[in-house]
Amino acid sequence: MPNISFAEQVNHNFDRAASLTNHDPSLLAQLRVCNFVCRFAFPIERDNGKIEVIRAWRAQHSNHKLPTKGGIRFSNDVNEDEVIALASLMSYKCAIVNVPFGGAKGGVKIDRRQYSDAELERITRRFAFELSRKNFIGPGIDVPAPDFGTGAREMSWIADTYQALNNEELNALACVTGKPVALGGIRGRTEATGLGVFYGIREAVNVAEDMKQLGLPLGMEGKSVVIQGFGNVGYHCAKFFTAAGAKVIAIAEWDGSIHNPAGLNIAEVDEHRKETGSIVGSPDSKQLDPSCDALELPCDILVPAALENVITDENVDRIQASIIAEAANGPVTAAASEKLFQRGVMIVPDAFLNAGGVTVSYFEWLKNLSHVRFGRMEKRYEENAFRRVLKLVEGATGTVITEEQLRVAAHGAEEQELVHSGLEETMSTAYHEIRALRLKLGAPKIDLRTASFVDAINKIASCYGDMGIFP
Ligand code: GLU
């Protein structure tokens, strides 16, 4: 396959899946195309008084459901093709996990490490202002979220700018998700993508037939894991995989990689990184020789959790993992993906696996529209109902239930527990949907990525069908 761009790779995956469906070609053309792209160039003042022109994009790939949804990334590698590719992936991702949004993505072409906090604030607020001016943001229009290089702080600047411009809009806070909890965010959003990756892989490694085919034991316990990228997603993957009994044997970061065949202590790595700014030198870890790429280490599960195109034609033959968990968007090129599939490597695709972020964004958006915290109405009521039932059991059986036992058993759900449980249900249901579709389409010849694209195409096509636009 010739060297093709990121958006062309997504379209290549789309076309392969589309050829397995019976949809009208004109409908497929509509599902594939990116509906709108807005290109921005705006000035900001640097701290030294100089003016700099910042380039940014926002793409809305599919408006079959509104609002459109997707993160905003800050990276020097941002370009129009990348933003379109990521917006397309968002449309398919939302469909796969049954989140009722169209797909969008934004990008600001900066290396965030070169800017002070005050400069980053000026860039973010100005971008939010420009998006608002072009009607490219709003609770029912297009709702950004964090992505590579952005987080809750940037989202709070966007929400505040949008609110200032739309001060009569009751639902203004729903214009962006991934906000700090005090500013309309939801408990559980920060860890959502990493936790979603964990839930998705947990489902995959618990299917006996699939593990037998890979020659791996069932379950998460003892599996060796290599993680590339220790940002928000990579860190939370490492944390949840370890808590479930897997061993994170190596972590790669831009300034160096660390390893420990017995398993790294994730809390210590995180602590060390907070103190020194780097994972290198963490207690109980060795730095990996710079000539050796962590991606190429033998392991059960390889988790690329940073940017796209890290497993390519160039290094694919040296990849030794049995399972690739695409926590990032587009980490494996289309050509490399085909080679790995031929070799029997299981790729759990991005459009399903990293959907935890947007799933919990959906919960946050619902919370903002309803103006009430999840669990507020029912928590106490549930606790009292559980207590009444337990007291009945006590009376009927003569077993004494202590106050401590009552407290544990009759516990009503908090917001974060509801969010985690909604996320678990979403990821688990979606995994079994795409796995079943793969079998129906003719596994082993069909990979999970193709099955997930067919799933997305069918779901989005049915929206147009229901609107009577296409047959
Ligand atoms: N940036 C994340 C993604 O790529 C989250 C998007 C969102 O929450 O809207 O899925």
Active-site choice (69, 105, 223, 367): 105
Ligand 1 nearest-atom number relative to CA 146: 1
Residue 81 has pLDDT above 90, yes or no: yes
Token code pair at residue 246: 């897997």
| pLDDT value for 43 | 98
Residue 178 CA: which ligand 1 atom is closest?
A: 8
pLDDT at 469 over 90: no
Q: Considering the chain, what percentage of its residues have pLDDT values greater than 90?
A: 96
> Which of 105, 176, 193, 307 should be mutated for ligand 1, with most atoms under 8 A from CB?
193
Q: Which residues pair with 108 in a beta bridge?
A: 56, 74
Model confidence at 471: pLDDT above 80 = no
Annotated catalytic, 286?
no
Residues 6+ apart with CB under 8 A from 158: 72, 124, 125, 127, 128, 137, 144, 175, 176
CA of 152 to the centre of ligand 1 (A): 12
Residue owning the nearest CA to atom 8 of ligand 1: 358
Q: What is the pLDDT of residues 13-29, one digit of tens each?
A: 999 999 999 999 999 99
> Which of 358, 364, 365 to mutate to test ligand 1, by most ligand atoms within 8 A of the CB atom?
358
Protein residue closest via CA to atom 7 of ligand 1: 358
CB-based contacts of 390, cutoff 8 Å, min separation 6 = 401, 406, 409, 410
Question: For ligand 1, what atom is nearest to the CA of residue 358?
Answer: 8
Best of 68, 90, 352 for a ligand 1 pocket test (most atoms within 8 Å of beta carbon): 90
- Ligand 1: atom nearest CA of 86 is 4
User: pLDDT tens-digit profile of 371-389?
Assistant: 999 999 999 999 999 999 9
Token pair of 133 as six digits: 């001016």
Ligand 1 centroid, distance to 90 Cα (angstroms): 7
Structure confidence by residue, pLDDT tens digits, 169-190: 999 999 999 999 999 999 999 9
pLDDT per position as a tens digit, 196-228? 999 999 999 999 999 999 999 999 999 999 999
DSSP 385: H
Task: Return the exposure string of 110-133: e unless at least 16 CB atoms fall within 10 Å of the residue's CB, then b.
Answer: bebeebeeebbbbbbbbbbbbbbe
Averaged over 329-352, what is the pLDDT?
97
Q: What amino acid is encoded at 287 in this protein?
A: Q
Distance from residue 310's CA to the centre of ligand 1 (Å) = 20
- Domains, the chain, in order of start with CATH, read 36-183 (3.40.50.10860), 186-378+413-453 (3.40.50.720)
Q: Which pLDDT value is given to residue 375?
A: 94
Model pLDDT, residue 3: 81
Q: Which atom of ligand 1 is nearest to the CA of 70?
A: 9
Q: Take atom 9 of ligand 1 and give the residue whose Cα is closest.
A: 70
| Residue 44 clears pLDDT 60, i.e. is over it | yes
Residue 466 has pLDDT above 80, yes or no: no
Q: Which of 69, 129, 75, 73 is nearest to 97 (CA)?
A: 69
Give the pLDDT band of residue 291 (cuts 50, 70, 90). Answer: confident
5 CA distance to ligand 1 middle (Å):
21
CA–CA dist 90, 160 (Å, integer): 25
CA of 306 to the centre of ligand 1 (A): 13
Contacts of 193 (CB under 8 A, 6+ apart): 232, 233, 236, 327, 354, 356, 357
What confidence score (pLDDT) does residue 146 get? 97
What confidence score (pLDDT) does residue 464 get? 82
Q: What pLDDT score was predicted for residue 29? A: 96
Q: What is the rounded average pLDDT of the residues 268-297?
A: 96
Residue type at 388 in one-letter notation: R
Cα(144) to centroid(ligand 1), Å: 8
Res 240: pLDDT: 98
Residues near ligand 1 (Cβ within 6 A): 69-71, 145, 147, 177, 329, 354, 357-358, 361
Average pLDDT over residues 6-14: 97
CA triple 284-287-291, angle to 5 deg: 155
* Ligand 1 atom with least separation from CA of 93: 10
The neighbour count for residue 449, using CB atoms within 10 Å, is: 25
User: To test the ligand 1 pocket, which listed residue (143, 147, 179, 366) has its Cβ within 8 A of the most ligand atoms?
Assistant: 147
What is the Å distance from ligand 1's center to 299 Cα? Answer: 28
Res 467: pLDDT: 66
Instruction: Kindly tell me if the per-residue pLDDT of 235 is higher than 70.
Output: yes
Distance 268 CA to ligand 1 centre (A): 28
Nearest atom in ligand 1 to 148's CA: 1
Question: How far is Cα 150 from Cα 71, in angstroms, rounded to an integer?
Answer: 9
Ligand 1 centroid–CA 360 distance in Å is 9
